[in-house]
Structure 1
C-alpha cells in the first residue's frame, strides 16, 4: 500500500528539542523526536481541536484510559492529554493551523449545539457534571454552546417550540431520559449507544462521541389517544415496572437504592391488572397471543404544526391479542432501560419494531428472580415472560384484580403518561387519561449522535 499523501510537514521544537510534525491526507498526525519513538494520533478519533498560544500550537487530544484506571471524580473511557510544539516561523505556524483546521472541518463535526441542563437530573448533579465534564470538552473542540437550564417538566419542549433549532447542529440533554423525550437522548439511551461499542455509560464517553460527529438513526414511537400524541424514544410501561418507577419517588431520599427497595415491596404485595394488549407482530412472532380484529383509530385530519406520527396502513394484516390479568407490560425501543437494566436484549435502534415484554401469572419468588436477571438480560428467557417484536400496539388498561375501584399508572420514558383512579398522586393532571391508547412506529425518524460502530 502506497504511503498517504502528506498535507503538511514542518521542522519544529518539541520540549525545546528539534523534531518534526506531519499531517497526512488520511488524517494521521505524527510527531517525530530525535532518539524517541514516533507518536501518532488519528485526527478523527484522537484530536478534539487546537489552539495557538503565542508562538506555540497546542493540539488538544484524548487518549483511552487503561483498563481499571479511573482518573478524576467522574471517570470515563478517555483522558485529556495535550501535545505542544513550536514552529520555526509565523508562516509555518499559520500554514500548519490552516491545514489542520481544514481537515477538522472536513470531518463534519458539530459546530453549534443547543444544550439543555436539568438541575434536578442526574441525582441533582447535572449542572456539576456539565461544568466539570461536558463543557470543557466542547470548548476544547471549539464548539459553540447555547446553554438553557430547564425549570420544570416539559420546559424544554416549550423552549424548543419557540426557537429556530435549524441553526444548531444538534441538541444535547444533560439530565435523565425525561428531558430527552421533551426535545427528543438519557441514561437508558446513552447506555444503549455506548455499551454496543464497549464504552462506559458516562458523560466523558458520551461527550466525545458527540464531538466526533458520527450519527445513527433511531425509531420513534407515536403514542396516540384521540388527538393527543406523545412521541417516545425509549419505553412504555404499565403494571409492576411503571408502579416501581413512579411510586418509588416517595423514597427518593434513599438514592438509587429506592428502586430495589420498592421493587421488593411491590413484589411482596403483588398487584395484577385486568386489561388487554393488542399488537401487530413482526415477522417470526405471529404465534404469540390469539387472533383478533382491530383497526387503528385515526382522528379526522386537522391542520397543526409539527410532526403528527407515521401514516399507518395496517387494515389488511392480522392483529393478535393477549388478555389479562397482567403483572407487567413493557415496550422498549432500545436494549437498555437504565445503566444496569438490559430490558430488551434483542432491541435495535432502527429496525422499525418495538420489543414487547409481557409478564403474567408469575409466582412471587420467580418474579423476584426475574428482577435480578434484568441486569444481564436473561429475564426474557423465563417461561413466565413473553418476549416478542411488534410493529404496532394497543393497550386497554384495566383495574386491579383485587381492587376493582383502583387503577394503575402508564409510564412513558420515565414520565407519567396516565394515572388511573386511586393511584399515586392521582390528583395530578396527566397528558392522557387511563384508557385505551395505541402506538405506531416510524422507522429511523430521529437522528442521534453516536459512537462509530
Structure 2
C-alpha cells in the first residue's frame, strides 16, 4: 500500500529532498509510514536516519530489511543538541509485499552507492606497534563496523619493518578502493613511500588511505578526527573510512643527494616530544622505555629538561606569504644548485623541483629544537602546530633557540592545547621549502644529534643512541619541499 500525497507531505515538512520512496511498512508488529528522500533521509514516526552519516549498510533477510546504523547513545537522537557516545544499532522493518521489498532494496542500495563509499579495502595491521593492541582494536572496534557496512576486506599483518612499504609498492590498484592502516603513524608513512616509489606513482598515490589509531603515536588520526571535534578512537576513525569522505593531504619530500624520503607528518631535530631538538632525542632515545607505552616519552622528556642540550646548525627556508620577515636574509650561493643537476632518474616520484634561489631567509643556531609539521597533532596529546592545514601547501616550522628550564617545563604543559607557540621563546611560522644544516652539540663537538621524520630515525650523528645502526641518510645537510595535496586520505565529516 502506498501513501497518498497528503500523507507524504505531512509526514516530514522539514525533511531535505523530495520523497524517493514512500510506503507503509511493518515495524515491531505495527504498520507505519516510512519515507526515503532524495536528500538521503530515512524516516518513520519514531526515527530519522541520515544515510550518509548514520547508516552503515543493510541486509535483506527473508521478507525483512535490517538497517545497520550508528547512533548517539541516549534519548532524542534526532535532536542536534544531544551529545553522546556513538553506538551500533540495528533497525528492522518489513515491507508488505515482495515488490515493495525489492524496491526498498534497490533504492537503499542506490542511495548508498551514490555516496562513493569504499567497497573493498586492504587492511594492514601492525601487531607489534605500541602496546601491541592493534589485533584487539581491529577485532573489537574495526571489524564489526566493516561487517555492518558490507565492506569486503583483505587483512594482512605486517611481519617486519618496511613490510607495509613493500606491500604498497606491489599492490594491485584495481583490487581495492582504499588502504586501511591499523597501527600508529608508521604504517601510513610506509604505505605513502611505497606508493610513491612505484613506476605508476602518479595514479598509485591517488589511492585513498585510512588510519586507525592503534599505536604509540597517532598524530594523523588525532589530527583528522579533531578537525571535526571528534575524539580520537578506533570507532570514530573506522566510521570516517566507511562514510567514504576524502580530503587531500600534502606530502613533503626529504632529499639528501640521491636519497629521498616522503613525509606526511613531521620532521624533528633535537628534543622530540616536547620540542624538536628535544623532540628527536626524546622520541628515539626513549625507546629503551618502550614498555611504558606513550608515557615513555613524557618520562624521558623530564630527564632531558634537566640535562638540556643545544645544537649548532643553520636552517634556511622559503617563507610563506606573511612570514617573510622571520629570520635573517640568506646570501644565496651556488652550492645547493647541485641538488637537481646531479639527480639520477629512477623509478618512482623524484620529488618537486627545488628552486634554490627562493631560500632567502635563514636562522643560525644554536638550537634547542626544530620541528617541521604537516598536520596539527604530533600525537594524541601533543598539539604541536595548531595552525597546520592538511593541504595548504606549507609546513609549519616551530623553532626554539633558547629557553630557561623552568619555562621549558611550563611549555611542556602547554603542548596539549598548542599554547607553546605563543611563548616568547618559540618562533612559529609557515614555510614552502626548508633546508637543514645540522651541527654538533654545543657542549660537546664530538657528539651530534638525531633527525627524526614521522617517528622514524632518518639520520644519527656520532655519539648518539645506537649511532652504529645504519640509517637512510647521514647527519648532514638535507632539503624538504611540499607537494600540495599529493596524497588522499579518508576524513571524517561534520
Query: Would you say same fold, with TM above 0.5?
Result: yes
Question: 1:225 deviation in Å?
Answer: 0.6
Determine the structure 2 residue equivalent to 1:73.
none
3-state DSSP class of the match of 2:399? strand
Match of 1:337 among 355, 367, 378: 378
The one of 292, 296, 310 aligned to 1:258: 296
> Separation in 2 of the partners of 1:223 and 1:237?
12
Deviation at 1:54, TM superposition (A): 2.1
Q: Distance in 1 between matches of 2:425 and 2:32?
A: 67
Q: Distance in 2 between matches of 1:77 and 1:138?
A: 19
Q: Is the 8 A contact 2:258 2:344 kept in 1?
A: no
Report the CA distance shift for 1:335/1:256 in structure 2 as closer, same or farther (over 3 A): same
Which of 337, 345, 353 aligns to 2:394? It is: 353
Please say if residues 77 and 204 of structure 1, whose CA atoms lie closer than 8 Å, have aligned partners that are also in contact.
no
CA apart distance, 1:163: 1.9
Work out whether 1:243 is the aligned partner of 2:285.
no
Aligned equivalent of 2:81: none
CA distance in 2, matches of 1:194, 1:128: 21
1:29 paired residue among 42, 53, 65: 42
Q: CA deviation at 1:24?
A: 1.2
Deviation of the 1:160 alpha carbon: 1.3
| TM-score of the superposed pair, with normalisation by structure 1 | 0.93
Match in the other structure for 2:138? 130
Q: Which runs of 5+ in 1 are unaligned?
A: 33-37, 68-75
Deviation digits for residues 158-178 of structure 1, max 9, x if unmatched?
Answer: 111122234321111100111
Cα deviation, 1:219-278, whole Å, max 9, x if unaligned, reads 110000111111000000000111111111111122332111100101111111111111
> Could you give the per-residue CA deviations for residues 40-60 of structure 1, whole angstroms, max 9, x where no partner exists?
111111110001122221000
TM-score (norm 2): 0.86
Partner SS, residue 229 of structure 1: strand
Which of residues 457, 463, 470 is equivalent to 1:416?
Answer: 457
Could you tell me whether the CA contact under 8 Å between 2:393 and 2:432 is conserved in 1? yes
- Are the counterparts in 2 of residues 49 and 140 from structure 1 also a CA contact under 8 Å? yes
Counterpart among 86, 89, 103 of residue 78 in structure 1: 86
- What residue ranges of structure 2 are gaps of 5+ in the alignment? 1-12, 76-83, 193-210, 271-277
Instruction: Report the 3-state secondary structure (helix = DSSP H, G, I; strand = E; otherwise coil) of the residue aligned with 2:396.
Output: strand
> Matched residues in 2 for 1:122 and 1:173: separation?
14
Q: What secondary structure does 2:53 align onto?
A: helix
The aligned residue for residue 248 of structure 2 is: 217
Deviation at 1:299, TM superposition (A): 4.8
Q: Which of 25, 30, 46 in structure 2 is aligned with 1:12? A: 25
**Structure 1 residue aligned with 2:233:** 202
Indicate the SS of the match to 1:21: strand
Residue 366 (structure 1) shift: 1.0
Deviations 1:326-382 (A, max 9, x none): 111100001111111110011111111100011112111111111111111010111
- Are the aligned partners of 1:237 and 1:328 in contact in 2 as well (CA < 8 Å)? yes
Single out whichever of 345-354 and 158-167 deviates more from structure 2: 158-167
Shift of 1:444: 0.8
Q: Equivalent residue for 1:183?
A: 191
- The alpha-carbon distance between structure 1 residues 2 and 376, as it changes in their structure 2 partners (threshold 3 A), is closer
Match of 1:308 in 2: 350
User: Shift of the alpha carbon at 1:122?
Assistant: 4.4
Does residue 365 of structure 1 match 2:396? no
2:116 equivalent to 1:111: no
Q: Do the aligned partners of 2:258 and 2:343 also contact (CA within 8 Å) in 1? A: no
1:90 Cα offset (Å): 2.3
Instruction: State the 1:438 CA deviation.
Output: 0.4
Distance 1:420 1:103 in 2: 56
Cα 1:386–1:111 shift into 2, 3 Å: same
